[in-house]
Amino acid sequence: MLLFHKDKTNQKEKEPIIKTDTWLKDCNSCIVHFDDKHYSRARVIHGKSNLIDLFFEDTDLMDMRYSKIAVDFSDNILGYVQTLCNVVVKKNPNYPDRPEFWMGECEILIINKAVQRQQDIRADINLQVRFFSETRRPFYAVITNLSAGGIFITTSEPLRIGEELSFKYNFRSLERIFRVEVLRVTKMPDNRFGYGLRFLDLTDGAESAIRSYVFKALRKEEQAKEVNQ
């Protein structure tokens, strides 16, 4: 028998930024906030509606119906999507064919916020990449910050504002060629430079791969913080 979880939304709800005719596009993970102290990550399977199946990593759950709780989705197209949902947690009838013991039936009620391309989520990384240009020899630089909007690199190579470069990398499952443009320069110690670059002509697949990489990097960072606490 399912237990009923008390509605936690005592104060007036804010008007959703994105109306409920815009659902998830390309999402495979989320964080479910059961209360202020208890949250769980889940794998996401969704269609074109607001009804979604969740498969929890956490094994310490119980049959429960949660009303109007926060669920944050990592969508490779929409970005970081904050929602309010009804979630019914129950035993996974397909276990062990599917590895998660607990699953959830999730109904998105409203989308409160989505951090999209112009407000992209960024991850601090340390990735050495070889860059190419039509006007100079190939050179190496370190990507220290990444989002679907652009990158920040450090290198000893002097570059010009407006200069276009390219590099190859496999951010998910396919090596792609990425084109970037230098937008700003920062002088750094030891005769090095820092450059902010924006991506040019990203395909949906390339953007999705970058977002997936960023979400994984942020997740690893969060897990490392939890271990150190």
Question: 194-223: per-residue pLDDT in tens?
Answer: 999 999 999 888 888 888 888 888 877 777
CA distances from 166 to 100, 127, 202, 218 (A): 41, 15, 12, 25
Tokens of 1: 């028998």
User: Tokens 């110690």 appear where?
Assistant: 189
Q: How many CA atoms, within 13 angstroms, populate the side-chain half-sphere of residue 126?
A: 1
158 pLDDT band, cuts 50/70/90, is very high
pLDDT of residue 16 exceeding 90? no
- 71: left (phi > 0), else alpha (psi -120 to 50), else beta? beta
Summarize pLDDT for 65-120 with one digit per residue, the tens: 999 999 988 887 777 788 999 999 999 999 999 899 999 999 999 988 776 554 56
Domains and CATH numbers, the chain: 3-115 (2.40.10), 123-223 (2.40.10.220)
pTM beyond 0.75: the answer is no
**What is the predicted pLDDT for the residue at 176?**
95
Summarize pLDDT for 18-72 with one digit per residue, the tens: 444 457 888 888 889 888 778 888 999 986 678 999 999 889 999 999 999 999 8
Strand ranges, E, within the chain: 3-4, 27-33, 39-46, 51-56, 64-75, 79-91, 102-115, 123-132, 139-146, 150-155, 164-170, 175-188, 192-200
CA distance 193 to 17: 39
